[in-house]
Structure formats: C-alpha cells, structure tokens
Structure 1
Amino acid sequence: MPYFVKRPEGGFSYTRDLSPKLFASLSGELALSWSQERRKVGGKQVLKIALGTTDLTLARQRWMEVHPQVENLIGFAKETFQRRTTRPSTVTRLQSLPREAIKQIAEDVYQRILASDDEEALTGRPADLTEIVLNEMGERGNDDVPNLFDAKRRAHLRELDHLRSHARRVDQFDFDGARQIPTLESLVREGMSPDSAKRAREDLSDVIGESAVEAVLAQSGVDLPHGHPDRNLLALEVIRAGIRGHSAVLERLEGAAVPTPALVAPIARTQPNEGVKLGEAYDTWKNERKPSSRTAEGYRLYVDRFIEINGDVPIASITKKHVRAYRDALTGCPRNVPKEMAGCPFWELHAWALAEGHPLLSRTTINDKSIGAISAILAVALRNGEIEANPCTGMKFSLKEGEAGKRKPYDDADLSRLLASPVFGEGKRYDAGGGEAQKWLPLISAYSGARLEEIGQLRVMDIKCEDEVHYFDLREIDDTPGQTTSRKTGSSRRRVPIHAMLIAKGLLAYAKEQGKAGHVRLFPDLVEYDGKTTHYFSKWWGRYARQFITKDKDKTFHSFRHRVTDELRKGKLYAVMQAILGHHVGDTTSGYGDGFDIGTLNEMLQGISYSKVDLSRI
C-alpha cells in the first residue's frame, strides 16, 4: 500500500509528499468515519492523516477510506489548476463579484478541462486524472495491460458523478468550507490547560487549508467576504462548468468534435470605490449623537461584524444585498461569547456556536440591535448627504406571531408574591443582590418607572428637593470613575419625583446614611462590569424573580416600568407621563421651554397606587 506509514510511536498514518504544484493548489475535506469529523487538508507539502489505531487490519481499512478521497482532491487540483503555477502576488478584496466575473471564472474551469484533454491527446501521456485510474487498475493485480481509453473514460465519469452529486444536493454543500478547529472550551474539557489548548488551536490553524471556493478566488487574485451570496453563486457555477467540461470530454471519446475554447482573460481586479467607509460613518455618528460609552461599544461591535462579513464597504456602495448577507450570517452567531472566545474572528465564533449547539441570536435581537445599529449610523450619513438612501430600510426579518417577545407588566399577584418573598418578607439579603439594592431597586422602579441602570447609577447627590418635592435628578452625565452616569436617549435626561411611599419606607433616611458613610453611590454594593452598574444584579434578579415571583419569561425587571406606564395612563395626561418616563415626545412644541415643573410631575406620579397589594411588609 503506498503512503501507508507505521509511526515510530505506534499506530499508522496516511502520509504523502506533494509536489510544489499540488501543494500550492490542493484544498478540500476528508470525511473520517472513525472520528466523525471532516478534516480540512491543504497548505502543507506533506499530507499526513493519522489513522487512529494500532491495529494493522483496521488501519488498512481506514487507508482504503482515505486514499480514494485524497486521489479525488489531487485529481481536481491537477485538472483545474495545472496551468496556473503561481497565484497573483496580491489579492484584492472585492465587495461583490459581478455576474460577468463569475461567468469568466467558470469558463476558465471549463477551458482547462478541455485543454488538459488536448494535451493528453497531443503528447500521448496520460493526464493526471487518467493516471490515477490507471494506477488503481494496476493495483488490483489484473494481468491485463490497463486500457488507456477505458481509464480515461472512467476518470471523467467519476468526476462527473462527483460534481453531479454536489449539484443535486446544493442545500448540503459547504460553500465556504468552514474550518473544523476544536474550540478552546472543548479542548479544555478534554483535559488540556488553557495555554496548551491555545497553542494546539494555533498549530491546527496552520495546517488547515483553504476551501475550494477560496482557492478559485485566490487563483484570480481576488477575495470575497465569507457568507457573501456571490461566493455561493460562484461555487454553483464552478460545479456546473465542471459538469459541462467532463461531459464534453466524454462526448469527444464518442467521436464528437467538441472545440476547446480560447484562454479566458483574467477578471478585472478593481479596487473598491473611494468614499466614506462604514468605520468612518460610525465615528461621525458617535460625534454627533454622543452616546453612552456602553452604547458606543455595542455599535462598534456591530460595525466590526458588518465589516468582517462584507468588508469595509464605502457606505455609498452598501446595498440591500450587503445588509441581507450581514443579517443572515448573524443567525449563526452565539448569543453569549465566553471570555476565552472573546476577540475571535466572527466566522470562528460562527463555527463554534454551530458545532457546540450554543444558543444563537434571535431574529428579534438581530432586527432591533444588529440591523438597528447599522441603520442608525447610516441614518446620520443620509441626513448629511453622504448616501442617497438607507439600505437597511425594509431589511429586518419578518417575524411570525409570537416570535417577537413582548414584555408584560407585573400584575397585582406578582407584586404580592414579591413582597412575600425572602428579601421583603424575611429581610434576607443575598450576596449577589448588591446589599440594600435588592430591596430598593424594585421599589423605586415600581413607584417611578425608572430603568434598572438609571436606578443602579444613582448617586447620593442625585436626590434633590425643590418646592418641597424630593426628586431623582437624572439629568447629569458624568464620566468620573466610580460615579459614572449615562442616559439611554436625550429625553432620558429628566427629573423624577420620589413617591411618598418610598419616603415613608425610609428611602431618604437610607440616602442620608450612605452620605454620612462617605459613599458616592446610593447603592455602593452593586459591582460594575463592562461599564454596566447593574450587570450582576440583573442576572441575580432573573433567578430570584423566576423562583419567587413568576416563571413567565415575558416578565423581567423592565416589567415594573410597563406597570408604571399603565398606572400613569389612568391620569390621561400623556405628555406628563412621557416626561416622567423619559420617552421622546415627537411634536414640535415639546422641544420648547424647560418642560413641566416639578410640581406637575409630582402630582401625576403620586397617583400611582397599588391598592390591592398589601404594602405592610415593606
């Protein structure tokens, strides 16, 4: 058996030295049944596949599984790229591949199949594909001299069947040849240290070759973003060109005079158009809108993902096709990324999430956050005259009934269960609940409708009094470490009166104690993470609420805000309600003057009354 090597440390491997020509062009996957993996090969001069056994008989069986697959890959590499000994020294990243260019590349594949057949006829030497079949016929031990005509026919029939099988199962075809590199998480689970796992992944990434589509593009000196629809179309056209080419050779064997086309001219490697790039548009949006640092970081992540999927496209060149490619690619993005995976390329995260069965981003999240961020950035560019239209318009997923989650307000029964729970009924304090925050954050939200992070960021100095009305001053934005405050929108900067129930239960006295203790924050035991004061509290609240309040997934901490909205609607003063909640009022007059005085706001807010809830346990 050729290429069958016994390893010094024990076991066997399929080991094969490749010529420089093959080494430069070979790429593909091998299906290894014993490990249930698809092993990427290519990019190395020595092809080495461990057969995973020390048993000689079993190793021979696995060799028989590997060898035909390797021969097929080598045959394809020789046949398609045999006249291209070098690739262009530079590769141009294109944002799309015109149909004409796709046609040119496919025609080049067709031309090379027929040119290879011409060379075989003129020189009398078997072409690479034919030679493979001749070798196989000789290895069978037949005393008859292998028939060259029959070997050639078998070779092209084999390739034709192979390509037709791909054409019939396009839905299962791996257009991008996603890398099969084990995740850090899986390697650590197998007993490797984090450092060893990282080194192992780096070693594997060095020996894993490119996909067939990447090879075709590289031979033309161009590249396309992964997941781009044009890559898929190119793969289909190359398959179809191969089917036409091998069919044509078989027709020649039957006597048909099928001509060989002239050499195909190289495709135009045009540079991307000049103009404002998405990264620059992001900077403009950030300077104009002045978002919180957390919002800016979130938008930057969406911009980076868009660029990784589509390239840093000039915004004037972004089309709905780019937005669709971005949107669809994100459906395979993990909902949460572990620390050890932070900073990994998008497509590596994509492959990891699918391989590990990790929860993926919902279509609602993609609509609201991922597309919403790009749309907001391009909206600023549209207003500044840098683009003619916003390509994100109309590109969100159409959600089915029930797919778009709608938060519900806490009802009276929920509030009664809250007040009977350990924090209120027994005075218990949980380590993860942020000290007294676990008592006061729910109460403040229930009597003000303020957002969770707005309450968590409160400083002692933010409790003020005017005209005998105590209120939370949520107007200031502060970047000072240890006392940072941020606001979701411009209308979120407001004053919110403190309800009499909170005062009666001791909120002002509690605030005074925090001031005397030298604390800046009203709730100093909340631990900040990644710029968010209530990160850990939010996770704790989710667990606590599911155990003691309700298991309804549509009810979260934000449900307090929804309930307050319902309570304030009873006052029938819509504009005052919006001012208390920090919602934007879209009419012209809302932008004039200083807004409602504190007395008007207080009069409406004091109308919140949970008359059917026993408040005696607070």
Structure 2
Amino acid sequence: MPAYLVKREGTYYFRRVVPKELQAAIGKTQFMWSLKTKNLAEAKRLRNRDASKTDLLLAAAEKPVGEAVPISSASRFTVHNIQENAVRIAASFRRYLQEGAEQGDLKERRASLESTLQLHVDNAEHGWLIEDTSLAQSEAYILALRSVLEGQPLAAPSSELTNPVPAGSRKSVTLKALLERWKEAQAPTDRSVLMWKRTVRDFLEGQDDVQISQIKRSQIIDFKDRLAKRGNSAATIGSRLNHLRALFRFAVSQDFIEADPASGVKAPSKKTAEKERYPWTVTAMNRLFSGPVHCGGEVPEAARGSAGYFLPLLALYTGARLNELGQLRPQDVVVERYKDGGEDKACWTIRFVHAPADGVRLKNLSSVRRIPVHPELERLGFIALVEEAKARGNSRIFDDLAPDSLENLTSAWGKWFGRYIRITCGISDTKITFHSFRHTFKDTCRALGLPEDVHDAVTGHSDGRVARKYGGNTYPLGPMVKLMEDYKVYDLRLISPYLQS
C-alpha cells in the first residue's frame, strides 16, 4: 500500500503517525481521516494534498517557542492552553514565511498556510477532517494563522492558569448569554455565528433559555437523538455537537461550569444515522396529495402559496433538499439544448447553484448541478409558475417564503409541513419527514433499475468515486432526461394541476 494510505471496506483513508516527540504539541498520536474515494489514483492525489498540509503542522511543532502545552479532549482545558499554543504556532509560521521570503517561494508558502487555515476552520465548524480530540488544537491554529495571515491581534497568555472557582461561587449564566460571551471572545465569522445560533435554538426547542449549570449530559444525548430522528446526517449531528462543545469548553475556561456536559457524546455512525431515515410509502403520499393543499381546499397561510403545493412534488420528482428547492430563483429554471444520439434536443432544466451574494447556498460542492424537469412537474404547472415569476420580476420562484433570524428560507415552512402531514393528513410515523422524499427518489430509482451514477448526478450525491465527483453542470443531459422519463411512482393518485391565483 502506498505511503499514508490505508484501505477499509474498499474506501481509502489518509493515515500518518505523529512522531512521539511531537504528539504533545499536535494533540494526537496520528492524523487519520477518510478520503471518501475507492479509486486509487484519486486517493494518491488526495494523499499528496493532505501530506503537504500535515507537513506544515509537523514543521510548526518541530520549532517550538517554549514548551508546548498539550491540549486534550478533557473537559477542564482552558483558554490559556489555546492561547499559549497559538503564540507558539504563530511564531513558527512567521519563521516559515521569513524563510520563504529569503528563498524566493513566499507566495507558495503563504498559499499553503491559507490552505491549512481553511482545514482548521472546516474542522472547527463541521468536524470534517480532524477528530473531536483536536478541536481545541484547531482553535489554536486558527488564532495563530489569522494572526500571521490577516494581522489579527493575538493576546499573550497570562503567566499562570486561573485557579478553579468553588462551585458555590460560580456566576450563573444562560446558554444564550454564553453564546454572546463566546462570540465576543472568539470573534468568529458571521457564518459561524449563524451556525452556532441555529444549534442553540434547536437545542432549546420550546424553551426560552436555560442556565448552563442545569444542562445535563442526558439532555445532550436527547438532542443528538432528536437530530437523528429528523433525518440529519451523522456529519451534521457531529457538527452540532461540536458547536455545543465549543460553548461548554469556553464556559469551563471562564469557570461558569466545572465540566463540559457534552464531553464524550458521539454522533451516530453513518450506517446508524441512515437507518433512522424512512422513505415515503405510497399510502402516506396519497394521504398527503389528497389533502386540501393539493385538492383545491382551503390552503393555510403558513403553506406560503405555491410553496405548499410544489415543494413536496419537486422533492418527489428531483430528490433535492428542502432548502435547495425553497431558494430557487426564476433564472435557475431554463431551457437547455443537448445531443441525443447525434440529434439536437432541448429540455427544461433546474440549476442548483452556489451564489452566497444572492442568498443562495448549497450544502457542498457535489450539490452544484443541473437536472431535467420531470414531465409530471411540467404537467402540474411548475414551468407556468416559473414563467409567471419571471414576468413579475420576482427574486425567488417561491416568493412568499420569508427567511428566519438565521437567514433560512424554509425553516418556518418546514415546521408547518411537519404539522400539516401529522394533523391534517394523518401521517403519524414521525420517521417520515420532508427529507424522506430524497430517500424515496433514490429508492424508487433503485427499484426501477435505473443507473445509479445517473440518479447520483441528479441528487448531487457523491460517494467519493472519481466518476461521481464530476457530475454537476457537466454531466450529460441525455441520460438524465431518459431517467426522468422512466422515473414513475406506481399507485400514486392522479394529482390535479396547480391553479394559480
């Protein structure tokens, strides 16, 4: 096996042992993460990228300024540890850039540091690459790299650690107040603040606020289980837990609490999380599409007009995520020409793009794609709705959707949909959610024997294989048009076209 590569169940992983003398500074005994590919050539390319990144981390650790302070996953670590390591790391990286200036490769070295910064930002926000035990070390690297690259001030640590405060004399603080204190102390990006606020909001769920001293480990576990039951992926659950850990660790460092209640709570494995997600049954879908929203009855205001009618149907016939659909703009639905056996053809397509300046965000790179509009959606009036939105100059196809305080367009609508299917439509199985349409699309494609690489391209799914990573806007339209023509949900009741008001 090539250096730094290991193979588990057909998937390649990057694995590099940290020298014993550097393990205290690095905060772990090895670097290891999935490369999410089963292709050896692609694994080697990713191996070279990650080898360069870990070279930088090891180089910084080899030139310490003073003795490194190990940062563990224990709940009693302090901000002092992070700051002390940040000062040491920053000094090493400044020497690294100085050497680059002397040797004529400063630009390349700076680019490498910027890449390393992004690696740690991703880890701190999402837990994508580095295990939970290194989150505190990532915080130190972020502080150090932003100091070196962006000139952000780096406070020197105090000479002594703060003495523990007796439990009875600790200052009481609520979770929302803790978030504000953490924000002031850490100066995170605006996007990070939004993510942490969403986690706090979802953790509280129905409560106005809570004293952090009253939060128990069992409540963290309950929160994790709630996320899993709602269909969140293992990676998303891990990210949310990391947000809480960052807050509680900060609280420990400020002596607001004695220990981190989230310590040791792990996200479910990917396989476990997948088992919690149920597709829609035909019986359940017939109940939904027999409801007042789709049968000309009284439509609740919370359904937000055409969104109540079309979002479930779009999800059923595209497999797209709720937020991807809710943020669609009129210009994202266009006619596109393609070749089919040498013959020129054209079809309506939906483009899922990442345009943060316009408030349009996707989950990841593989989510960028364009797909044909299913014939059933055309029959039901989706194209007519788009054309009307274009004529009116609307910024969104579903212009009645309003963002919440965290800039999520579909959050309130999603809550209404959950109530609607349970109360109005009588669908009692709580494992059936809006996200279940995504699994329904995939399961239906498999049941019909449709090509997996084609429906992966339609849903923006990537399993790491090279052929699956480069679908997006370049995947041939012909096979996707054929898939849409063959995609049928048998025994589904005939739905009446949308009547525009």
Q: Taking structure 2 as the reference length, what is the TM-score of the superposition?
A: 0.51
Determine if the alignment matches structure 1 residue 531 to structure 2 residue 407.
yes
**CA shift at 1:609, angstroms?**
1.2
> What is the CA-CA distance between 1:404 and the residue it aligns to?
7.5
- Residue 475 of structure 2 is aligned with which of 573, 596, 613? 596
* Alpha-carbon separation, structure 2, partners of 1:465 and 1:600: 16
Larger Rg: 1
Please give the per-residue CA displacement for 1:448-489, whole angstroms capped at 9, x wherever unaligned.
111111100100111111132101011x32233xx4211111
SS in 1 for 2:285: helix
Contact 2:372-2:484 at 8 Å conserved across structures: yes
Q: Could you tell me whether the CA contact under 8 Å between 2:421 and 2:427 is conserved in 1? A: yes
CA distance in 2, matches of 1:402, 1:431: 37
2:363 corresponds to = 488
* Offset, 1:509: 1.1
Letter in 1 for 2:401: L
Q: Who is 1:228 aligned against?
A: 75
Name structure 1 gaps, 5 residues minimum.
1-93, 96-221, 232-268, 317-332, 343-347, 377-393
* Correspondence 1:20-169 to 2 at 5 A: none
User: CA, structure 1 residues 276+373, in 2 after alignment: closer, same or farther (shift >3 Å)?
Assistant: farther
What is the alpha-carbon distance in structure 1 between the residues aligned to residue 491 and residue 312 of structure 2? Answer: 18
Select the structure with the greater relative contact order (CA < 8 A; seq sep ≥ 6).
Answer: 2
Q: Distance in 1 between matches of 2:334 and 2:120?
A: 28
Q: Take 1:500 and 1:338, find their aligned partners in 2: how far apart are those partners?
A: 40
CA contact (8 A) 1:364 1:403 kept: no
CA 1:527–1:579 in 2, change beyond 3 Å: closer, same or farther? same
Alignment of 1:562-601 (within 5 A): 562-569=439-446, 570-590=448-468, 595-601=474-480
Distance 1:355 1:609, change over 3 A: closer
Cα distance in structure 1, aligned partners of 2:208 and 2:118: 30
Whether the aligned pair in 2 keeps the contact of 1:527 and 1:534 (CA below 8 Å) is yes
Q: Partner residue of 1:459?
A: 329
How many angstroms apart in 2 are the aligned matches of 1:592 and 1:356? 42
Query: Residue 312 of structure 2 aligns to a residue in which SS?
Result: helix
What is the DSSP-based 3-state SS (H/G/I as helix, E as strand, rest coil) of the residue aligned with 2:203?
coil
Q: Cα offset for 1:354? A: 4.5
Distance 1:334 1:445 in 2: 26
The aligned runs of 1:112-511 (5 Å cut-off) are 228=75, 272-273=84-85, 274-276=87-89, 287=118, 299=126, 314=140, 335-337=202-204, 349-354=211-216, 360-362=222-224, 368-369=235-236, 371-372=238-239, 396=266, 406-467=276-337, 468-474=346-352, 476-480=353-357, 483-511=358-386
Q: Deviations over 1:209-257 (max 9, x none)?
A: xxxxxxxxxxxxx9x99972689xxxxxxxxxxxxxxxxxxxxxxxxxx
Offset from partner CA, 1:141-182 (integer Å, 9 cap, x none): xxxxxxxxxxxxxxxxxxxxxxxxxxxxxxxxxxxxxxxxxx
Deviation at 1:522, TM superposition (A): 0.1
Once the two structures are TM-superposed, the CA of residue 370 in structure 1 deviates from its matched residue by: 5.7
Q: 1:408–1:559: 8 Å Cα contact kept in structure 2? A: yes
1:469, 1:599 within 8 Å by CA — same for their partners in 2? no
Q: Relative to 1, partners in 2 of residues 1:226 and 1:605: Cα closer, same or farther, differing over 3 Å?
A: closer
Secondary structure at 1:495's aligned position in 2?
Answer: strand
1:29-59 per-residue CA deviation (whole Å, 9 max, x = no partner) reads xxxxxxxxxxxxxxxxxxxxxxxxxxxxxxx
Correspondence for 1:140:
none
Compared CA separation, residues 358 and 425, structure 1 to 2 (3 A): farther
1:545, distance to aligned residue in structure 2 (A): 1.4
1: distance between equivalents of 2:237 and 2:463? 25
Instruction: Give distance in 2, aligned partners of 1:400 and 1:441.
Output: 27
Distance, in Å, in 2 between the alignment partners of 1:400 and 1:599 is: 33
**1:425 CA displacement:** 2.0
Question: What SS class does the counterpart of residue 371 from structure 2 fall into?
Answer: strand
RMSD between aligned alpha carbons? 5.1
Deviation at 1:566, TM superposition (A): 1.3
Question: Counterpart of 1:540?
Answer: 416
Equivalent position amino acid for 1:484 in 2: G
Structure 1's 338 and 398: CA in aligned 2 closer, same or farther, altered over 3 A? closer
Report the AA paired with residue 361 of structure 1: F
Q: Equivalent residue of 2:335, what SS?
A: strand
- Equivalent residues of 2:314, 2:320 under 8 A apart: yes
Shift of 1:561: 0.9
Contact 1:492/1:582 (<8 A) preserved: yes
Take 1:290 and 1:515, find their aligned partners in 2: how far apart are those partners?
A: 39
CA distance in 2, matches of 1:472, 1:457: 12
- What per-residue deviation string (whole Å, max 9, x for no partner) do you get for residues 522-576 of structure 1? 0000011212111111111111111215211111101111111012222341111
Indicate whether 1:605 and 2:484 are aligned: yes
Q: Distance in 1 between matches of 2:430 and 2:113?
A: 34
- Give the Å deviation of 1:508: 1.0
SS in 2 for 1:450: coil
TM-aligned CA distance change 1:349 to 1:478, over 3 Å: farther
Shift in CA distance, 360/396, structure 1 to aligned 2, threshold 3 Å: closer
CA contact (8 A) 1:451 1:558 kept: yes
Distance in 1, Cα, partners of 2:464 & 2:73: 41
Distance 1:349 1:284, change over 3 A: farther
Return closer, same or farther for 1:555/1:276 CA change in 2, 3 Å cut-off.
farther
Instruction: Give the letter for the 1:445 counterpart.
Output: A
CA distance in structure 1 between the partners assigned to 2:348 and 2:211 by the alignment: 49
Tell me, yes or no, if the aligned pair for 1:334 and 1:360 is still in contact at 8 Å: no
Q: 1:400 to 1:591 in 2, by over 3 A?
A: closer
1:584 CA displacement: 1.1
C-alpha contact 1:434 1:527 (8 A) present in aligned 2 = no
Cα distance, 1:340–1:446 mapped onto 2, change above 3 Å? closer
1:507 Cα deviation (Å)? 1.0
Query: Cα gap change, 1:438/1:490 in structure 2, threshold over 3 Å: closer, same or farther?
Result: same
Separation in 1 of the partners of 2:432 and 2:481? 27
- In the superposition, relative to structure 1, how do residues 403 and 478 fare at CA in structure 2: closer, same or farther (>3 Å)? closer
Give the CA deviation at 1:299.
4.4
Match of 2:436 among 549, 555, 559: 559
Change in CA separation of 1:579 and 1:341 when aligned onto 2, cut-off 3 Å: same
Match of 1:516 among 372, 376, 391: 391
Give the drift of 1:371: 3.8
Q: Which whole-Å CA distance do the structure 2 matches of 1:507 and 1:537 have between them?
A: 19
What TM-score, normalized by structure 1, do the two folds share? 0.42
Shift of 1:613: 1.3
Q: Which amino acid aligns with 2:444?
A: E
* Partner residue in 2 for 1:84: none
Aligned-pair CA distance for 1:283: 8.1
Q: How far is 1:436 from its partner? A: 1.0
Matched residue of 1:551: which SS?
coil
Q: Does the 8 Å contact 1:416/1:613 carry over to 2?
A: yes
Conserved 8 A contact 2:279-2:439: yes
Aligned residues: 315
- Closer/same/farther in 2, CA of residues 586 and 514 from structure 1, 3 Å limit: same
Matches of 1:289 and 1:271, distance apart in 2: 16
Separation (CA, whole Å) in 2 of partners of 1:424 and 1:546: 16
Give the Cα separation in 2 of the matches to 1:353 and 1:375: 16
SS in 2 for 1:602: helix
